[in-house]
Structure 1
Amino acid sequence: MNPALFVVAAILDRILGDPPGWPHPVRLIGAGLRRLERAAPVSPFPRRLYGVAVTLALALACALVVDLCVSLPGAGGLFAVYFAFAGLALGSLLREARAVLHLLEAGDLPGARRALAGLVSRDTARMDALAVRRALAETVSENFNDGFVAPLFYLVLGGPALLWAYKAVSTMDSMWGYRTPHYRELGWFCARADDALAFVPARLSALALVGGGWAMRRRPVGVWSRIRRDAGTMASPNAGWPMAAAAWVCGAGMGGAAVYFGQAVDKPRLGPDGQWDGPHLRLLVRVVSRAGTGLAVAGMLMFFLI
């Protein structure tokens, strides 16, 4: 595998992102999961076993299909580039974040709520501007890991096939990994598999965000111990790491009240007491952008060391 693949994929991700109208493997995985969900057993115990079987089978199938495509004579290199860049989602995340921020600054709160709804699973219909800004900061920092760092990690570790095995599990977790009565058993295994697969990348994400902050002279004293402390308060073993890192580097807090599927949730507080405003959000976008660039270059260098 050519080490330039990491840099080319990261560049194409920044330039193209997820072009509207283009076919995308995640959409195909999502469509398949919706069909498989309808075929799930009714009783709780078989639903858990069914979820285990679907998780393992889908991850293996995605890896095999991608491996077959990248092994084709002549066209394999193009497939490798496509699957590598399509597995990264930092470019589209940053563009969508800037779009929400632009709507907020233009005074279009309803438009900002609608745009944010495409990025988060929480209810946005009744959010005020402050809640929209905080939710935007949380999803940008958390998805920096889920949409970029973790896929890049598995791309470096095992090429496009391993990347898409991870993406299959991650997509399942985003669709089935909820603690609601409907998904509690069905998504039990994919949620735990995603936690295990994202364990190392989540901590790399926090490290990269701290590095991005240092490059911009954002250097809070004792930042790593604060990140580790705050991350430990979260129910997820991974989500708190990039969120706490972004909060401390940018100087604004995360967590607090949110509504998911009609249920109010009080999330642990992360970071300092400051609130997210336009300048803080623009700083976050720049820090995430620099952190992503640094990791892409580090991935290429790591390839030479492995």
Structure 2
Amino acid sequence: MTTFTLAPPLLLALAVALDLLLGDPPRLPHPVRAIGAAYAGCDRLADRWGGRGRAFGAACVVAVTVANAGVVLLLTRLPAAGWVCGVYFAWAGLALGQLLREGRRAARFLEQNKVEAARDVVAGLVSRDVSVLDADGLWRALAESVAENANDAFVAPLFWLALGGPAGLWAYKAVSTADSMWGYRTPRYARLGNFAARADDVLAWLPARLTVAAMWLAARLCGFGKDVAFADVRRDAKKSASPNAGWPMAAAAWLCGAGMGGEAVYFGVRVRKPAMGPVGQRWNAARYRCLGRLVLLSGLIVAMTIIVITGLIPQC
């Protein structure tokens, strides 16, 4: 039987190129929607059975992850069409191109003082309630989302694509999607989403730190952030409740010279996120363009590094 045999460096390069050039696969079914639907069904079952405990949540995440990876593995081993499926699943699992496109669109609206139009775009990028945000709040929410997703939407999926092929990538995406849907410390999800949050912390731990290293190098190559002390980044990163999310956010805040954190509303609950970056410095069009360059270049640095390393490893 013909199996998916594209060499990993070629697969990685194709996936990165398609992501940056085309963004999300246009007019094609996106696997994340199926994963989200599966977790939504589990959520309804939890309500029906009264099973919002940790064990049920863990069982759901494991079942969806195994099923997701299994389907991808089977499809990438189809005769003749396996290599097409492999490229598609690798491409669909990366989202840097789409993230930067949507970020630029929101930034243009904010520059033009079209706050409501910007609000609609930012709402699609963040999980917080944006209806209460003014222009400054939208700039900050946009910057936080783009910085955090430099890892979540690109570096971490690419890392697991390199280690486990398309099936490995989509196993990670299944866990990450569970965390994005259930990983909130609210009465509804505090127990149900506990396993998802912890599993995502483990899987994204190393990629988050690779992201920061790449951001640091990217800033030096672009000639900004030279006066930033890494101790400031490390101190602010540790303020975050997440062991991973704070790292790219703190690095972006300090390197681009604008603060992150403050009050935000999630599912009707008001929380105060820890302050990161220089105090009192607000995001604006110029600082956001700096962030866009930082995220793009750091993503390319990580991609090139991973592609080179996989090329040096003998293929079985």
TM interval, short-chain normalised: over 0.9
Q: Equivalents in 2 of 1:45, 1:77: separation in Å?
A: 40
Conserved 8 A contact 1:156-1:303: yes
Q: Say which of 278, 284, 287 aligns to 1:280.
A: 287
Give CA deviations for 1:81-130 in whole Å, capped at 9, x if unaligned. 11111000101100100010011111110111111111111111121111
**Equivalent residue of 2:282, what SS?**
coil
Residue 45 of structure 1, CA deviation: 6.5
- Which residue of 2 is the match for residue 207 of structure 1? 213
Residue 214 of structure 1, CA deviation: 1.2
Q: Equivalents in 2 of 1:303, 1:238: separation in Å?
A: 25
Instruction: Indicate yes or no: 2:30 matched with 1:24.
Output: yes
Q: Equivalents in 2 of 1:225, 1:4: separation in Å?
A: 38
Where structure 1 has 5 or more consecutive residues not aligned to the other structure, the ranges are: none
**Equivalent residue of 1:198, what SS?**
helix
- Which residue of 1 is the match for residue 192 of structure 2? 186
Tell which deviates more after alignment, 15-24 or 269-278. Answer: 15-24
Q: Equivalents in 1 of 2:170, 2:27: separation in Å?
A: 21
- Which residue of 1 is the match for residue 174 of structure 2? 168
Conserved 8 A contact 2:228-2:255: no
Q: Equivalents in 2 of 1:46, 1:118: separation in Å?
A: 27
Conserved 8 A contact 1:247-1:272: yes
Q: Aligned partner of 2:147: which letter? A: S
Residue 32 of structure 1, CA deviation: 1.5
Q: Say which of 137, 154, 159 aligns to 1:153.
A: 159
Give CA deviations for 1:141-183 in whole Å, capped at 9, x if unaligned. 0011111010001011111111100000001111111111111
Conserved 8 A contact 2:214-2:299: yes
Give CA deviations for 1:162-221 in whole Å, capped at 9, x if unaligned. 110000000111111111111111111111101111111111111111121111011433
Q: Say which of 76, 85, 91 aligns to 2:82.
A: 76
Task: Report the count of equivalent residues.
Answer: 306
- Which residue of 2 is the match for residue 224 of structure 1? 230
Q: Aligned partner of 2:303: which letter? A: A
- Which residue of 1 is the match for residue 310 of structure 2? 303
**Equivalent residue of 2:253, what SS?**
helix
Conserved 8 A contact 1:149-1:205: yes
Q: Equivalents in 1 of 2:253, 2:293: separation in Å?
A: 14
The TM-score normalised by the length of structure 1 is 0.96
- Which residue of 2 is the match for residue 110 of structure 1? 116
Conserved 8 A contact 2:237-2:246: yes
Q: Aligned partner of 2:293: which letter? A: R
- Which residue of 2 is the match for residue 293 of structure 1? 300
Q: Equivalents in 2 of 1:46, 1:126: separation in Å?
A: 30
Where structure 2 has 5 or more consecutive residues not aligned to the other structure, the ranges are: 1-5
Q: Equivalents in 2 of 1:296, 1:91: separation in Å?
A: 13
Residue 46 of structure 1, CA deviation: 6.0
Q: Equivalents in 2 of 1:236, 1:37: separation in Å?
A: 23
Conserved 8 A contact 2:225-2:256: no
The TM-score normalised by the length of structure 2 is 0.93
Q: Equivalents in 1 of 2:250, 2:184: separation in Å?
A: 22
- Which residue of 2 is the match for residue 129 of structure 1? 135
- Which residue of 2 is the match for residue 119 of structure 1? 125
Conserved 8 A contact 1:87-1:151: yes
**Percent identity for Structure 1 against Structure 2:** 53
Q: Aligned partner of 1:239: which letter? A: A
- Which residue of 2 is the match for residue 139 of structure 1? 145
Residue 289 of structure 1, CA deviation: 0.8
Conserved 8 A contact 2:103-2:146: yes
Conserved 8 A contact 2:25-2:92: no
Conserved 8 A contact 1:41-1:47: no
User: RMSD value over aligned CA atoms?
Assistant: 1.5
Residue 19 of structure 1, CA deviation: 4.2
Give CA deviations for 1:52-88 in whole Å, capped at 9, x if unaligned. 1111111111111111111122211111111111000
Q: Equivalents in 1 of 2:265, 2:52: separation in Å?
A: 30
Tell which deviates more after alignment, 268-277 or 96-105. Answer: 268-277
Q: Say which of 260, 268, 272 aligns to 2:266.
A: 260
Q: Equivalents in 1 of 2:119, 2:228: separation in Å?
A: 35
Q: Equivalents in 1 of 2:58, 2:235: separation in Å?
A: 32
